[in-house]
Amino acid sequence: METTREPLRADMFGHSDCAAGVQPFRFGDKWSGRVLRCLEQGPRRFSELRIPLHTVTPKVLTETLRAMERKGFVSRTAYDENPPRVEYRLTALGRSAIEPMNAACAWTAEHLPELLAAREGAGGAEGP
């Protein structure tokens, strides 16, 4: 039984402080935090994830999902249907990362002017 969820918006990460290129905290690799955010409200198909993550190549998104699955943050369910259907969902471990990620985003929003000034003072270079 499928529950109805709001569709993911293409501009989902366009106005977020954490997505504005200022990411003092990183959850996993470059895209894992965004995948966590996309799966926060429930399972999604790959094509649904591609909408807000349109700047990520399909290859990199696939690699990110596989890495998150290996680390226990995401589960992948393949349904025996024609055409095939695969859904990704947060595991309990993945869901437990949402609260710390929210705290990191709130801290970033609170200190955004300082972070931008520091980056500007460093010549716009962003470290690892």
Confidence band, pLDDT 50/70/90 cuts, at residue 66: very high
The domain segmentation of the chain, as residue ranges, is: 32-121
How confident is residue 2, by pLDDT bands cut at 50, 70 and 90?
low
Q: What pLDDT does 22 receive? A: 61
Provide the mean pLDDT of the chain: 84
Q: Convert the pLDDT of each residue in 19-52 to its tens digit.
A: 445 666 777 788 999 999 999 999 999 999 999 9
Q: Which fold has domain 32-121?
A: Arc Repressor Mutant, subunit A (1.10.10)
**HSE value, Cβ hemisphere, 13 Å, CA-based, for 31:** 22
| Distances 5 to 2, 32, 33, 64, 75 between C-alpha atoms, Å | 9, 21, 20, 23, 18
Give the gyration radius of the chain's Cα atoms. 16
List, for residues 71-87, the tens digit of each pLDDT value: 999 999 999 999 889 99
Check if the beta carbon of residue 78 is closer than 8 Å to that of residue 86. Answer: yes
pLDDT > 90 in the chain, percent: 50
Nearest 5°: CA angle at 49, between 73 and 76?
A: 40
Q: How confident is the model at residue 91 (pLDDT cuts 50, 70, 90)?
A: very high
Q: What is the pLDDT of residue 69?
A: 97
Examine the pLDDT at 128 and tell me if it is beyond 50: no
Q: What is the pLDDT of residue 3?
A: 60
d(CA 75, CA 50): 17
How many CA atoms lie less than 13 Å away from 12 in the CB half-sphere?
Answer: 21
**Whether the predicted pLDDT of 1 surpasses 80:** no
